[in-house]
């Protein structure tokens, strides 16, 4: 049984629509959006359970990526 022209055309349209649905949301570069909350005030009150007083001494800082 050979597929006729109508069947090939319908399957081509279905395949084209599926490809469109997959590709339409693909973007090589994501859009960047700024945080809309503004500046956040952060106050450190405790480190490892001990209170932090406002002094000129530096706090131990660990920076990780």
Pairing of strands 50-51, 46-47: antiparallel
H-helix or E-strand containing 50? strand 50-51
- Global pTM? 0.40
21 in Cβ contact with 36 (< 8 Å)? no
pLDDT digits (tens, 9 = 90+) for 7-61: 999 999 999 999 999 888 777 777 777 777 677 777 777 777 667 666 656 666 6
- The phi and psi torsions of 46 (rounded to 5 degrees) equal -145, 145
What is d(CA 43, CA 41) in angstroms, rounded to the nearest whole number? 7
53 in Cβ contact with 45 (< 8 Å)? no
């Amino acid at each position: 049984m050979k597929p006729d022209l109508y069947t090939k055309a319908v399957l081509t349209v279905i395949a084209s629509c599926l490809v469109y649905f997959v590709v339409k949301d693909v973007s090589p570069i994501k859009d960047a959006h700024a945080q809309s909350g503004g500046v956040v005030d952060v106050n450190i009150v405790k480190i490892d359970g001990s209170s932090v007083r406002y002094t000129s001494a530096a706090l131990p800082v660990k920076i990780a990526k």
